[in-house]
A and B are shown apart, each in its own frame.
Chain A
Amino acid sequence: MAKKTYDLLFKLLLIGDSGVGKTCVLFRFSDDAFNTTFISTIGIDFKIKTVELQGKKIKLQIWDTAGQERFHTITTSYYRGAMGIMLVYDITNGKSFENISKWLRNIDEHANEDVERMLLGNKCDMDDKRVVPKGKGEQIAREHGIRFFETSAKANINIEKAFLTLAEDILRKTPVKEPNSENVDISSGGGVTGWKSKCC
């Protein structure tokens, strides 16, 4: 009773211009599905997904934000408390890429100092309509010292990988309390106590 649970909760945030596919990225990750109809997110939505990393159960609480310009002053207030931020642009939309530096400034101004950032170039399945070369994404990510993936929510490319990488990066700098030894994890078979020392 009253045992602390050792699950970690990571709060992640998706930001970027309207229409770059933030909601689809989240929907692919949380429900492994894709919806072609575009419904602009007018507000803040979130979903949870539990993942296991390095033997630890981690609950990701992922916040999806409205990308429309007129909501920016409001959405920036949700940055605080986020442990990871995914900044998404659309490789078929040059403007969404140009705005990256503005979004990064927003993060600097409004998010926690130690927030883990990641850049995603979404819609990489639409190579025929590509206007942002992969190299440019890599370059700007390098300049800011953040990770970069080209993703496709539609074709399910790199979505899971991106989230897990971000979660791992956060986990790496999270001081993890060692679980109480009484809290034996059955799956690891650790229930055998002391047999090694008394082995005959």
Chain B
Amino acid sequence: MDQSVAIQETLADGEYCIIAVQGMLCEGDSRQSRLLGLVRYRLEHGGQEHALFLYTHRRMAITGDDVSLDRIVPVSRDFTLEEVSPDGELYILGSDVTVQLDTAELSLMFQLPFGSHTRMFLQEVARACPGFDPVTPDPEFRWLSRYRCTQLQSQLPTPHGWNSAPGTWPGCARIGGGRYPSRNGLWGLEEARSGAGSVLFGGGAVDQTGLRLAEVARGGGPLWGRSGRRGRRDEEVEEAGREMSAAAGSRERDSAGNSHFDDLRPNGKGLLVDQSSWGQDKPEDLLPRQNKSKSEITDMVRSSTITVSDKAHILSMQKFGLRDTLVKSELVQKEEDYTYIQNFRFFVGTYNVNGQSPKECLRPWLRHSVEAPDVYCVGFQELDLSKEAFFFQDTPKEEEWFKAVSDCLHPGAKYAKIKLIRLVGIMLLLYVKEEHAAYISEVEAESVGTGIMGRMNKGGVAIRFRFHNTSICVVNSHLAAHTEECERRNQDYKDICSRMQFCQVDPGLPPLTISKHDVILWLGDLNYRIEELDVEKVKKLIEEKAFQTLYAYDQLKTQVAAKAVFEGFTEGELTFQPTYKYDTGSDDWDTSEKCRAPAWCDRILWKGKNITQLSYQSHMALKTSDHKPVSSVFDIGVKVRNEELYRKTLEEIVRSLDKMENANIPSVSLSKREFCFQNVKYMQLQVESFTIHNGQVPCRFEFINKPDEQSYCKQWLNANPSRGFLLPDSTIEIELELFVNKSTATKLNSNEDKIEDILVLHLDRGKDYFLSVSGNYLPSCFGSPIHTLCYMKEPILDLPLETVRELTLRPLWTEDDGSQLENPMEIPKELWMMVDYLYRNAVQQEDLFQQPGLRSEFEHVRDCLDTGMIDTLSASNHSVAEALLLFLESLPEPVICYSAYHNCLECSGNYTASKQVISTLPTFHKNVFNYLMAFLQELLKNSAKNHLDENILASIFGSLLLRNPAGHQKLEMVEKKKAQEFIHQFLCNSP
């Protein structure tokens, strides 16, 4: 039962329900029956728009009263209805079809019954989708405002009406947001016609904010809409971005420690998130941000004008077999390249049999030509006039006449039946010579009933097919009877033309109508009569064989001349006498009471190129009916494929599509791919930049991690930005920032790490580029262990790299053996240099250790220490003080070794025990500790000038000398306090 009839009754003028299907709306575990109607609206200026109307309904809907509108989903550009296979379930043939409906705003899942009707429904919906063609304007769906307005008016006064500002339509105002509010609106509404219940955004949802509404619309639970999914992806991206920036931030903190050298760090790392186009909103504004980025994306997509690449982009998606569609349309365009015209003989016959069974042999009609036709198109009308045939669509006559025709086909060939279609009494048969069957394809048959409710015994049936490369449509129609019903006949013709639509194998192609064929053959009892002449006059003219004179009064002739019907069709000259109406079993004109005037009711017309009519005649020998059968033989030029040329053309098309797809793989050029960083120094930023120049395809780029690595580059390197989006032909400059800090310096000193790395620049859907980074690091006392420095009598830069490496790798506890051999210094000379400098110049310096130094001066201090040119050191006291703090912080093993950390905290407050712990430290560390304490006490002697006190110094040095072995974790206040207290003891008591 076609439920579209019921829907149609509820629609306004101009709206047409193309097809309807009953399905289950699945929301979470709930299943509710819905009637889905695809409604078309023809626009005044041409073109059409579609919307999916969802109805709740009682029983199987028969009339409009059985359905009530639940919601309307406009078929906009972002509308998709796709078959999905439920997760983890095996596909079982014959099981329900699960489809997912997505628009920008909502996502629904339906289960539709298995079968051809559902398939047809999905095809119709696919056809209705506006597609990607940039030429056609965006659908506006003004016609749907009718539903919106009624809604607003009828709803506002009701108690549970919308509480939002009067005059605005909530769905639109809240969700629209983008550039196309009218299009993006959610067409939710309450049931408009009758009854209560069935509310889309019922109850609380409507008076909540728009955000809530959006949540409701998504159906919650597992039903995330497309926009929802995108939103989540954005969050992930942003989340990742935030983590990265946090990580970068912590590195920043680590590198600078408690000192005031934050401004030494390149601040590029913190910018990662801001560079991303997604992360511009605060994380807590989740939904608005989704909407915003959605509209941003939409804008971006719409502003793009490269249609070729759009097309190619679609190509790479494994969806809808679009590539097939493109191949087919290209093949059609190039048809002339690989086809030639060959004539085939077509027999076309029509016979109104007046409900009779075959009593005579049909040979005189079907077999009158000498040559065997290649194709037989045989049509009947009034095959069966019984009520049974009308109501049950079943009649034994079908088989009888089919056999009668099959038996009488030309004996000169073997024929294959291609198709039989019948609508009540209108039947059409198509046969071809057996050897041609292989060249017949895309056979579809359809019927259209006309007259009241489309259910009378008038109408048409048609078979369309492809013969070699020519599309052919054969129509057999029985139009309205009676002389005065000429207009009705014209209308029947138009109805058949507009409503006869053939399914295509490929749903991506537009619907096929009769007119879309290369060749149209139209036969049937068209029922046009002879006008203005009385019966006797007609009969007289017939007797005189004055057919030309008579023809002037033929309604079909005058109607065609007036372009009221059969426009573009041709009919051959009528050289035979009218075929209606005879007394059955004779050649006598109708002698019944009605005494019908003779008329050429039975006709054959054609439309198309390369068609030659060879004969057009009636067959008086057959007397079964009150009509005489008519036949016409044609030579029709059919486009036949040259297989070799065809393969060649096909090959070319496939190649060109491949080429297009290859051209659409994102590709960039890089201004530089090898980066050499010479003489890298501790905490001295070096930057190398390069340019990414994008090709013709918009693309997203990102440095990606190499296998088994945690980040895309070594810790001392950073690319800024490390990801981004490039428009066609645009460029972006990327800076590679190299910065060695305390966490990376030691391994570079020991040569366990080198200034060497390969970065992988990845293009989304495209290529990967490798960037090589190389260079050399100049070892520094910063980052060197205390004992290593003690063994270095020369400045570190004067030593061979190999010596630096060996000394750096020397284990801490082997000092005794080494001391005998190498006679190490008691404390690192670099430490002594800094402390000595401060002792000489800065004991009275106000705010020492509390004011930041200068970046340039730090570099100078570092170079002086590493080259041993301490005499040339001239820097502000604050800079040297800062350098001292950085030195202590950069020690891979803190002054109080990690292993003693917890002991120190435990005996904090117990000076004796504390001293005991210090005494267990390795000698060099012990020396350094005592040396520093002595220096700090010296400073405190000058506290009147330098304003330092034990608390200040304990808090500064506490966390430098005592470092938690767990590493970078933020220390708890208690732990910090204890560390300070520990140092504090040594400042207050003399050693």
Chain A contact residues, CB within 8 Å of chain B: 1-3, 5, 7, 9, 30-31, 42-50, 66, 70-71, 73-74, 76-77, 182-184, 186, 189-193, 195-196, 198-200
Contacts and interface: CB of A to CB of B under 8 A. Distances in A.
Given A1-B82, A200-B417, A189 B440 contact: yes
Given A50-B654, A182-B119, A198-B417, A43 B770 contact: yes
Contacts of A189: 438-441
B507 A73 contact: no
B767 A46 contact: yes
9 contacts: A1-B123, A5-B319, A5-B320, A43-B761, A74-B760, A76-B707, A182-B505, A186-B505, A200-B431
A47 B673 CA distance: 22
A24 to B, nearest CB: 16
Interface stretch (B139-147, B657-665, B846-854): B657-665
A42 B434 CA distance: 61
Contact of B769 (A5, A43, A190): A43
A184 B438 CA distance: 14
Given A46-B665, A200-B417, A73 B706 contact: yes
Contacts of A50: 654, 657-658
Contact of B81 (A1, A7, A45, A48): A1
Given A74-B758, A74-B770, A199 B434 contact: yes
Contacts of B654: 50
A160 to B, nearest CB: 12
B323 interface: yes
Interface in B426-466: 431, 434, 437-443, 465-466
Contacts of B83: 1-3
B706 A191 contact: no
Given A49-B658, A71-B758, A182-B119, A195 B318 contact: no
Which 5 A/B pairs are nearest by Cβ-Cβ distance? Answer: A2-B83, A191-B441, A77-B707, A1-B126, A1-B122
Given A186-B505, A200-B417, A43 B442 contact: no
A74 B770 CA distance: 9
Contacts of A76: 707
B406 interface: yes
Given A2-B122, A70-B772, A186 B441 contact: yes
Nearest to A45: B767
B217 to A, nearest CB: 23
A30 B662 contact: yes
A192 B443 contact: yes
B418 interface: yes
Given A42-B673, A50-B658, 13 more contacts: A2-B320, A7-B318, A43-B769, A44-B767, A46-B767, A48-B661, A70-B758, A71-B770, A74-B707, A74-B758, A183-B505, A191-B465, A200-B415
Contacts of B761: 43
Given A44-B768, A192-B418, A198-B417, A74 B323 contact: no
Nearest to B768: A44
B324 interface: yes
A71 B507 CA distance: 47
A42 B418 CA distance: 60
A67 to B, nearest CB: 12
Nearest to B85: A4
Given A2-B82, A3-B321, A189-B441, A42 B769 contact: yes
A195 B321 contact: no
B441 A192 contact: yes
A195 B438 CA distance: 10
B699 interface: no
Contacts of B760: 43, 74
A3 B507 contact: yes
A5 B321 contact: yes
B99 interface: yes
Q: Which of A1, A183, A196 has the most CB of B within 10 A?
A: A1
A2 B441 CA distance: 23
Contacts of B658: 30, 48-50
Interface in B29-47: none
A45 B695 CA distance: 14
B758 A195 contact: no
A191 B321 contact: no
Contacts of B758: 70-71, 74
Contacts of B767: 43-46
B125 interface: yes
Interface in B58-91: 81-84
Contacts of B443: 191-193
Nearest to A71: B770
Contacts of B507: 1, 3
B323 A7 contact: yes
B758 to A, nearest CB: 6
B932 interface: no
A195 B437 contact: yes
A49 B662 CA distance: 8
B322 to A, nearest CB: 9
B662 A47 contact: yes
Contact of A191 (B125, B466, B662): B466
B100 to A, nearest CB: 9
Contacts of A74: 706-707, 758, 760, 770
A190 B706 contact: no
B917 interface: no
Q: Which of A7, A66, A70, A198 has the most CB of B within 10 A?
A: A198
B474 to A, nearest CB: 15
B361 to A, nearest CB: 16
Contact of B442 (A30, A70, A186, A195): A186
Nearest to B667: A45
A62 to B, nearest CB: 10
B99 A2 contact: yes
Contacts of A49: 658
Nearest to B441: A191
A184 B767 CA distance: 36
A76 B708 CA distance: 12
B229 to A, nearest CB: 18
Q: Which of A2, A47, A49 has the most CB of B within 10 A?
A: A2
Contacts of A3: 83, 320-321, 507
A11 B125 CA distance: 34
Contacts of B438: 189, 192
Contacts of A191: 440-443, 465-466, 505
Contacts of A190: 441
B416 interface: yes
Contact of B417 (A30, A184, A195): A195
A196 B99 CA distance: 36
Given A30-B658, A77-B706, A200-B406, A192 B81 contact: no
Contacts of A48: 658, 661-662, 665
B302 to A, nearest CB: 25
Interface string B366-386: 000000000000000000000
B327 to A, nearest CB: 9
Contacts of B434: 199
Contacts of B416: 192, 195-196, 199-200
Contacts of A45: 767
Contacts of B318: 5, 7, 9
Contacts of B324: 5
Nearest to B759: A74
Contacts of A7: 318, 323
Contacts of A183: 505
A47 B766 CA distance: 9
B284 to A, nearest CB: 38
Contacts of A196: 416
Nearest to A42: B770
B861 to A, nearest CB: 37
B470 to A, nearest CB: 13
Q: Which of A47, A190, A195 has the most CB of B within 10 A?
A: A195
A58 B84 CA distance: 23
B437 A192 contact: yes
